[in-house]
Amino acid sequence: MEATGGLIASAAELAELEELRWSDAVHLAGALTVGADLFTSADAVLCAAAARRGFHIANPLAS
């Protein structure tokens, strides 16, 4: 995925709104950009942010 201005702007907004690390915000922004339904991460904070945006979550560390 190309790091377009739109992706960077979306990531910046997500980082601020969700208090995400920059790399996590880019991960989430990318998933939103491509219209993914499933979001995978082992980071609980990132998974919670993705769930709030309607993603199905696959966290390999969740019990």
Per residue in 14-50, pLDDT tens? 999 999 999 999 999 999 999 999 999 999 999 999 9
Which residues have a Cβ under 8 Å from the Cβ of 45 and sit 6 or more positions away?
18, 19, 20, 24
Contact between 40 and 59 under an 8 Å Cβ cutoff? The reply is yes
pLDDT-based confidence at residue 55 (cuts at 50, 70, 90): very high
User: pLDDT value at position 9?
Assistant: 97
What's the count of helices (H) and strands (E) in the chain, helices before strands? 3, 2
Site of tokens 């790399």: 23
Q: Determine the pLDDT at residue 2.
A: 82
The alpha carbon of 3 is separated from its chain's Cα centroid by a whole number of angstroms, namely: 15
